[in-house]
């Protein structure tokens, strides 16, 4: 397993070693000991989620606040997505920065996103099945988000003039500055 830290502190790309033969392929999707050895992070995942999205669907940018914040390990079971994470940790040197990485079921790369990040993805294939592990249980009263097209974040979703498919809730999310201003009030 190959684990590399991204430009965002605490955020890692994980690439499994894939064994292929005439029967197909096999790979380990997660190993707590290996993850801890390479990252120094000790994690206990308590909830697994899976979503199925059609091409053009954009989910995000979501996060949970406070004691219900979640670290996530994201992988694509089928298809391809553009996965985006934004550092929202106030005291981080990369606060307000983001990364975007293509995750797909051919390369089997994963991304580990620590607590304090917003996360979202755009479905690039006709359909994508996304599976993610969380280190904290979902809590509806703690959910929040940032609008995907926040001009200050300047995320290149690679959609050109196309309009992504979003939920009504995601269309109503605040910009990062609006979110920060609400917290100051």
Domains of the chain: 46-184 (2.60.120.10)
Q: Cβ(116)–Cβ(89) under 8 Å?
A: yes
Spell out a b/e string for 123-136, using b for 16 or more CB atoms within 10 Å of the CB, else e: bbbeebbbbbbbbb
Buried b (16+ CB within 10 A) or exposed e, 148-167: bbbeebebebeeeeeebebe
How far is Cα 176 from Cα 167, in angstroms, rounded to an integer? 19
Active site annotation includes 131: no
Residue 155 has pLDDT above 80, yes or no: yes
- Mean pLDDT throughout 14-25? 92
Which position among 12, 62, 112, 148 bears the catalytic label? 62
- The helix (H) or strand (E) run that includes residue 128 is strand 127-134
pLDDT digits (tens, 9 = 90+) for 79-132: 999 999 999 999 999 999 999 999 999 999 999 999 999 999 999 999 999 999
pLDDT value, residue 23: 93
Q: How many helices (H) and strands (E) does the chain have?
A: 3, 13
Catalytic residue among 98, 112, 119, 132: 132
> Residue 158 — pLDDT band, cuts 50, 70, 90?
confident
62 among known catalytic residues: yes
């Amino acid at each position: 397993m190959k684990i590399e830290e991204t430009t965002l502190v605490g955020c890692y790309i994980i690439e499994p070693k894939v064994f292929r033969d005439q029967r197909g392929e096999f790979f380990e999707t997660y190993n707590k000991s290996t993850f801890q050895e390479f990252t120094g992070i000790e994690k206990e995942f308590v909830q697994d989620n899976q979503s199925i999205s059609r091409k053009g669907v954009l989910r995000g940018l979501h996060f949970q606040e406070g004691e219900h914040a979640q670290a996530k390990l994201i992988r694509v079971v089928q298809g391809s997505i553009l996965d985006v994470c934004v550092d929202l940790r106030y005291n981080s040197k990369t606060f307000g920065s983001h990364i975007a990485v293509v995750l797909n079921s051919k390369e089997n790369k994963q991304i580990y996103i620590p607590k304090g990040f917003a996360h979202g993805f755009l479905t690039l294939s006709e359909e994508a099945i996304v599976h993610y592990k969380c280190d904290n249980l979902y809590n509806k009263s703690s959910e929040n988000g940032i609008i995907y097209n926040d001009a200050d974040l300047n995320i290149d979703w690679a959609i050109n003039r196309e309009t992504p498919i979003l939920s009504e809730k995601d269309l109503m999310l605040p910009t990062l500055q609006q979110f920060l201003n609400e917290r100051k009030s």
